[in-house]
Each structure stands twice: as C-alpha cells, then as structure tokens.
C-alpha cells in the first residue's frame, strides 16, 4: 500500500516474489488506511474518507473487489484472524469501539473501550492469535489527574471478555506512548515498546513482555484432543508448551484452561 499524504492518494499494489507488478488499484482520496490478510489471501482494508467516515473493503488475491461498505467511524486499526473474524478498532461519537465482522462484512459484535480517550496518540493497535482471539493495546488516562498508562484488553472470537491489563507508568514520568506492539504466533506473549516522558523533560524507553494464557497448546487454531493430551501426558512436569500459565509446572490449572475452552476455534 502506498499513500501520498499531500494529495491524500492511496494505491494498492501487489508484487510477486520477484518484485514484478501484478496489479495496481487506486482508491478514493483518504487520510489513513489499515489492512490485513486472511488465510485465503484476501485483502481487507479500511481507509478513512474524512474524520467520521471510513470505507471497509475486501479484495481477492487477483485484485478483484469482493465487497465494500461505508461506516460512520474513525478507524484506528484493523486485524484479521486466519479464518475470521475481521476486527476494527475505531472511534464512534468519541468512544473507542472494538468491532468484529464476518469475512462477508456482517457485524458480529461490538464492545466499547471507554478507558481510551479520543485523540490519544499513538493510535490503538490490534493483534490476533491463531484462535481468533483479539487483543487491543493503547495508551490511556484512567483519570484526568493520573499519568498516562498502557492498557491491554482481550476478547475471544465470539466476544467473550478475556480481561484487561493495566501497566502503570513510572513514578517520575507522566506520559506513556506505545510505539509498537507484537503478539507471538501462538498467542503466548504480548510485547509492548514505547517511550516515557519524565518529569525532567527527557524521554526514556520501556518494554513490557507479558505472558498470556492460551489454551491452544500446539498453536493450530483449535482447542482439541491434541491439546488435552499434551497437558495430560505432561501432567506434573515442567514442559513449557503445556504449562499454559507459566507457573513452572503442568497441573490442574493448565488442565482446566483447556477444558473450559475446549472446541474454541474448531
């Protein structure tokens, strides 16, 4: 994707492995665009027409438009699970909302994230694992008198909350920017990196490396008999893969994590 900020022109360009041009599509004038791919190679893109209108579209690997729709929102990020859903984080009437769509563009569910204020910078980011679980990371100010902090909220593909994490700012800093964030392929570790603005007017870097609890032991996108067997065969041991909560031993807690999520993603 190429974007010219001075002319607001956005182009979608696909190159093959040798760098040869396969297709080139010019999109309507837009301010910002975010995109992702599913396991079939379809391209999902949301691009901002103005501050309150965005266009959500899908293109095939050959550059053909599957469908498009216009939404009243200010999009912040987009992420696609391998087999869906498609997630968009966007401000709607001043409130950050996390929306999940089917690959056909139908809204599945929507959740508000009121902790994130409008016009926060940098933007909110989305990350998905093999199960289709989504994690939203953003800078937030829980109360106006408090320093900015780092927030992570998670949901299953069906919209069930996985809880939220709030990483407090350092005592001598009052601004906290998340510049980058990444989720490992198995959905076990979420890493945030960014900057702190200290009381002395200096910038310090920070890195947060947080372990998440995923019931998908083998990372194949389905919590099934293989994951259950992996826990049972290693029960009482210290194998890191089936030690889902990272406490150093494969025990009842790991077994219950798989049982309570059995069938998810399948």
Residues 141, 31 within the same domain: yes
Residues 145, 43 within the same domain: yes
Return the CATH number at 123.
2.120.10.30
**Domain C-terminal end among 137, 171, 205:** 171
Cis before 85 (ω within 30): yes
Residues 237, 108 within the same domain: no
Domain count, the chain: 2
Q: Is residue 58 part of a domain?
A: yes
**Domain C-terminal end among 148, 171, 194:** 171
Q: Is residue 69 part of a domain?
A: yes
CA 153 to chain centroid, in Å, comes to: 10
Q: Is residue 113 part of a domain?
A: yes
Q: Is residue 32 part of a domain?
A: yes
Helix (H) / strand (E) element for 225: namely helix 225-233
Q: Is residue 110 part of a domain?
A: yes
pLDDT single digits (tens) 42-52: 999 999 888 88
Residues 165, 246 within the same domain: no
Residues 103, 235 within the same domain: no
Please report the pLDDT score of residue 146 as a whole number: 59
Alpha helices (runs of H) in 8-155, residue ranges in sequence order: none
Residues 51, 139 within the same domain: yes
Among 26-30, 138-142, 227-231, name the most confident range. 227-231
Please report the pLDDT score of residue 61 as a whole number: 93
Residues 157, 227 within the same domain: no
Q: Which domain holds residue 136?
A: 2-171
pLDDT single digits (tens) 16-39: 889 899 999 888 877 778 999 999
Binned at pLDDT 50, 70 and 90, residue 202 comes out as confident
pLDDT single digits (tens) 115-133: 787 665 557 899 999 899 9
Residues 128, 234 within the same domain: no
Look at 108-112, 149-153, 256-260 and tell me which has the smallest mean pLDDT.
Answer: 149-153
Q: Is residue 181 part of a domain?
A: no
Strand, helix or coil for residue 40 = coil
Residues 136, 254 within the same domain: no
pLDDT single digits (tens) 54-96: 999 999 999 999 999 999 999 999 999 988 899 999 999 888 9
| Stated pTM of the model | 0.87
Instruction: Select from 186, 190, 181 the least CA-distant residue to 210.
Output: 190
Residues 117, 245 within the same domain: no
Q: Is residue 198 part of a domain?
A: no
Give yes or no for a contact between 190 and 137, defined as CB atoms under 8 angstroms apart. yes
**Rounded alpha-carbon distances, angstroms, from residue 62 to 22, 56, 59, 72:** 8, 18, 8, 29
Return the CATH number at 260.
1.10.1330.10
Give yes or no for a contact between 148 and 174, defined as CB atoms under 8 angstroms apart. yes
Among 1-5, 145-149, 228-232, name the most confident range. 228-232
């Amino acid at each position: 994707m190429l974007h010219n900020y001075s002319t607001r022109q956005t182009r979608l360009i696909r190159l093959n492995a040798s760098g040869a041009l396969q297709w080139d599509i010019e999109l309507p004038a837009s301010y910002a665009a975010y995109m992702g791919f599913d396991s079939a190679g379809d391209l999902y893109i949301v691009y901002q027409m103005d501050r309150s209108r965005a266009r959500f579209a899908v293109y095939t690997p050959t550059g053909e438009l599957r469908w498009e729709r216009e939404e009243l929102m200010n999009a912040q990020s987009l992420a696609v699970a391998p087999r869906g859903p498609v997630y968009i984080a966007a401000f709607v009437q001043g409130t950050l909302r996390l929306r999940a769509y089917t690959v056909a563009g139908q809204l599945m569910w929507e959740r508000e994230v009121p902790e994130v204020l409008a016009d926060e910078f940098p933007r909110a980011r989305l990350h998905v694992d093999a199960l289709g679980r989504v994690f939203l990371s953003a800078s937030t100010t829980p109360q106006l008198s408090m320093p900015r902090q780092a927030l992570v909220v998670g949901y299953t593909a069906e919209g069930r909350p996985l809880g939220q994490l709030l990483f407090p700012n350092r005592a001598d800093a009052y601004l906290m920017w998340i510049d980058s964030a990444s989720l490992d392929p198995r959905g076990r570790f979420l890493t945030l990196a960014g900057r702190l603005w200290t009381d002395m007017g200096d910038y310090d870097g920070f890195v947060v490396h947080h372990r998440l609890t995923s019931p998908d032991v083998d990372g194949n996108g389905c919590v099934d008999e293989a994951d259950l067997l992996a826990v049972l065969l290693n029960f009482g041991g210290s194998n890191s893969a089936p030690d889902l909560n990272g406490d150093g031993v494969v025990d009842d807690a790991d077994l219950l994590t798989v049982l309570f999520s059995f069938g998810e993603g399948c």
